[in-house]
Amino acid sequence: MITAVELRNWKTHKNTRMEFKRGINVVVGVMGAGKSSVMDAISFALFGTFPSLNHKRVSLGGLVTNRPKPEQDAEIKLEFSIGGSNYSVTRRVMPGSSTTSSLERDGVHLQTQSERVNEEIARILGIDYDTFSRVVYSEQNGLDYFLDIRKGERKRQIDEMLGLDKFAAAEENATALVNSIRSLIADEEQMLSNVDAAALDGQLRSLRLEREGLERELASVKSGEKGRSESVRSLMAVVDKLKADYSRKVSLSQEVTQIRGRVSALTEEINKIRALGIKEELFAKELAEAEANEQELSRKSASILSRERALVKAHSSIEAEIKGLRSKAAERDAIVSELSGRKEEEIKSGLEREQESLHAIEAKIGEAKSRAADLSEALHNLEKSDGKCPVCDRDLDEQHRASLQREKEAAIARLKSDLAALEKESSASKSRIKEISAQAARVSMLASRLLEYRDLEKATAEKNRAISSARSELESAAAESKGVDAELSAARKSLESLRAKGEAISRMNGYAAKIKAEEEALARKGAELAALPVDEKTLYEKQELLRSESAALAELSSKISSMDRYASSLAKQLADKEKEAQKLAAIKRAIERRRDQLSNMNKFKGALADTQAALRNRLVSSINGLMYALWGELYPYEDYSNLKLTARKDDYLLEANTSLDGGEEWVSVDSVASGGERSIASLTMRIALAMVVVPNLKWLILDEPTHNLDSNGISKMIAMLGDSLPKIVEQIFIITHDESMKQIVSAKVYQLDRDKASNGPTMATEA
């Protein structure tokens, strides 16, 4: 049972909540008040769509309120209970025409993805959207939907609702399979007719006999090849041994020749050394004496060299001192030159005179400043006087005072000019005093430095005598070093000659040892060479025999290879023929198997048709029983006494029972009924279909069900909706503009109103 629905920004609904009850729920309002929007919202909440949206008569974005101002999103919350559990589903239409969904059971989240929510609700309710939209939800003016569609489509849709379409699909598949099996049997029989089975058997026997003969011949040839192969392997071992011995013999001969050559060369070297006439018994004594003499001369040369270095160092030191003395003499001469014509007493006297002149100038400056101050004060007093002389207190007229002011101002100007000249003269005097003071200090410093050079000539003479003595000693040491170096060079040459002779004696002794080792190796190689009796002729004969046997073996191997290839080709031909024979046998077995399948499929088709017919009859019978009970409650007249649904081969007909010429006759509602009669007949059929197709749901939504009904028909419908229909259908929703539907007994009524002139929202009030 649907217990409540909440709409926020859904079409014309700004914020609407409606609670429903078991039995009849009526939503009344004028056109455009938002009635159908409520049922569309219920369908959208359950399945994510409703007929107008599903058929694209409206867009998803058009569901969000846009008047009097556009809103960002819309939201529906639907509450329903089934099977003892309470469910809540929320759908939200987002900006950009996207949606979000969530489903709860007893306050616990079940799903949050839209597709999963749809699947879960379909599972809970036991119906999908297609069944809901065709059976439960009758869209506005859509009661007679099944009367308006063409007969083939009507047959298909009613069969789908009744679940009979699965039988039709199974029968179509079975028919297609039967036709496919028949086609396969025909193709396979055609294949059998194109093959000569007797010729194939003869070819198989011939190929098998040929293969057996080839296998016997091949076994014989392979046996001969085996014996020949063993002979070749034995000969190869003999030839390899002969080759190795012969190669070793050649190698030994070469080594013997090389050893003899080396012995001859060493002997020749020994003879050359002996020709030098070296006496080995005197060599050691001569070498020792030469080495002692060389060492003594080396020590003497080193001593002289050390003395020379000391003399050179002393000579360099004296030269440096003389150079320093010469530098000091130059400094002294420069000082003497600078002091020539400059007397310290005269400079001091000039300094004193300049200082006295500065004192006189500064005294004059003081007097001038004092006079200028007095004049300035007098001028100031004169300017402040009130007609009397500030000195003598005598009366002054303006002319006399102005004259006095001019005189004093002129005197002050002269004093300032004099004062500037005196200050300039004072500055010049100070500069001269500073310069003369610097000269006096320089002369005093130079005079004191002349005292440092008093013994310069004496020190220079002593250093010149010392350097002359050092030069004499250095020349003597150089002469002595030259003589010792000549003796040392001669001694070293003699020593090198003796050492060369010693090396020659050492080489000669080494050559003798090598000759002995080479002669021993020569004896060993000769013995080994004598132990190898192989010759080139024997090796050649064995190689020729091996080539002959190898050629015969290669010929046998080639023959075997050729026979193997032919055997492989023969085996392939035989395998192909055997496959062909097996294929024919398989085709025969397949034909028999398919004939059995064909028989079984025909039986299955008959069973499907019988089952479908029986089930259709049972369902149609249930629908007709319900319509018989409902028709008398809904139809207000007596010209049509009953209503039934008749199943035909390609259609379902809704027929009414009428009395014509004193008899009864069933006629098609579609051909004889008026608009109101069609509506009542369609309503009756829809209620019956809903009860048969969805017995566990028991919901019914009727949008404008009184369309085309007259007052009697409306009265009958009100009575039936208030009395008998709630006994059959658990919950019924009536969407209508017909105020008379408020009269339904025990109905919960909502009145929907809306100020369309100002694009106001829908207002729902419980009537």
Task: Note the pLDDT tens digit of each residue in 595-646.
Answer: 888 888 888 878 877 787 888 888 888 888 888 887 877 777 777 888 888 8
Claim to verify: residue 415 and residue 318 sit in the same structural domain: yes
Helix (H, G, I), strand (E, B) or coil at 13: strand
Angstrom distances, CA of residue 56 to CA of 50, 360, 660:
10, 126, 46
Kind and range of the H or E run holding 244:
helix 197-274
Q: Tell me, yes or no, whether 614 lies in a domain.
A: no
Averaged pLDDT, 11-32: 93
| Distance, CA of 19 to CA of 80 (rounded, Å) | 10
Most confident of 51-55, 229-233, 533-537, 580-584: 51-55
Q: Tell me, yes or no, whether 270 lies in a domain.
A: yes
| Distance, CA of 162 to CA of 160 (rounded, Å) | 5
Q: Which of 504, 528, 552 is the last residue of a domain?
A: 528
Give the pLDDT band of residue 341 (cuts 50, 70, 90). Answer: low
Q: Are strands 699-703 and 137-138 parallel, antiparallel or unpaired?
A: parallel
Claim to verify: residue 306 and residue 453 sit in the same structural domain: yes
Q: Indicate if the alpha-carbon torsion angle 654, 659, 660, 663 is positive or negative.
A: positive
Question: What pLDDT was estimated at residue 396?
Answer: 64
| Distance, CA of 385 to CA of 437 (rounded, Å) | 54
Averaged pLDDT, 208-233: 80
Claim to verify: residue 487 and residue 407 sit in the same structural domain: yes
Residue 388 has pLDDT above 70, yes or no: no
Give the pLDDT band of residue 390 (cuts 50, 70, 90). Answer: low
pLDDT in tens, 93-104: 998 778 999 999
The CATH number of whichever domain residue 12 belongs to comes to 3.40.50.300
Q: Tell me, yes or no, whether 447 lies in a domain.
A: yes
Residue 435 has pLDDT above 70, yes or no: yes
Question: What pLDDT was estimated at residue 660?
Answer: 57
Angstrom distances, CA of residue 637 to CA of 510, 625, 640:
153, 20, 7
pTM of this structure: 0.45
Give the pLDDT band of residue 138 (cuts 50, 70, 90). Answer: low
Claim to verify: residue 41 and residue 130 sit in the same structural domain: yes
Residue, of 365 and 77, whose pLDDT is higher = 77
Give the pLDDT band of residue 403 (cuts 50, 70, 90). Answer: confident
Claim to verify: residue 190 and residue 262 sit in the same structural domain: yes
- Are 765 and 750 within 8 A, CB to CB? yes
Kind and range of the H or E run holding 516:
helix 456-530
| Distance, CA of 497 to CA of 733 (rounded, Å) | 141
Claim to verify: residue 143 and residue 254 sit in the same structural domain: no
pLDDT in tens, 276-286: 666 666 667 77
Q: Is the preceding omega at residue 390 within 30 degrees of 0, hence cis?
A: no
Q: Tell me, yes or no, whether 134 lies in a domain.
A: yes
- Are 385 and 405 within 8 A, CB to CB? no
Q: Tell me, yes or no, whether 734 lies in a domain.
A: yes
Q: Tell me, yes or no, whether 598 lies in a domain.
A: yes
Give the pLDDT band of residue 715 (cuts 50, 70, 90). Answer: confident
Give the pLDDT band of residue 118 (cuts 50, 70, 90). Answer: very high
Which amino acid does the sequence have at 702?
Answer: L
Question: What pLDDT was estimated at residue 90?
Answer: 96
Q: Tell me, yes or no, whether 642 lies in a domain.
A: no
Structure tokens at 757: 């002139």
Look at the chain and report how many structural domains it folds into: 3
Claim to verify: residue 294 and residue 428 sit in the same structural domain: yes
Residue 25 has pLDDT above 80, yes or no: yes
The CATH number of whichever domain residue 399 belongs to comes to 1.10.287.510
Averaged pLDDT, 314-333: 81
Question: What pLDDT was estimated at residue 279?
Answer: 67
Question: What pLDDT was estimated at residue 157?
Answer: 75
Kind and range of the H or E run holding 653:
strand 652-660
Residue 662 has pLDDT above 60, yes or no: no
Kind and range of the H or E run holding 127:
none
Give the pLDDT band of residue 21 (cuts 50, 70, 90). Answer: very high
Question: What pLDDT was estimated at residue 1?
Answer: 92
Claim to verify: residue 489 and residue 388 sit in the same structural domain: yes
Q: Tell me, yes or no, whether 637 lies in a domain.
A: no
Structure tokens at 592: 């028999």
- Residue 60: how many CB atoms within 10 A of its CB? 17
Give the range of the structural domain holding residue 594, as residue numbers without chain letter.
Answer: 163-275+535-602
Claim to verify: residue 271 and residue 287 sit in the same structural domain: no
Q: Which of 583, 602, 621 is the last residue of a domain?
A: 602
CA torsion, ordered 481, 482, 486, 487, to nearest 10 deg: -40
Averaged pLDDT, 701-725: 80
Give the pLDDT band of residue 139 (cuts 50, 70, 90). Answer: low
Kind and range of the H or E run holding 285:
helix 280-339
The mean pLDDT of the chain is: 81
| Distance, CA of 125 to CA of 85 (rounded, Å) | 12
Claim to verify: residue 451 and residue 543 sit in the same structural domain: no
Averaged pLDDT, 700-726: 80
Averaged pLDDT, 43-52: 92
Claim to verify: residue 211 and residue 351 sit in the same structural domain: no
| Distance, CA of 708 to CA of 675 (rounded, Å) | 5
Claim to verify: residue 482 and residue 502 sit in the same structural domain: yes
Q: Which of 463, 493, 528 is the last residue of a domain?
A: 528
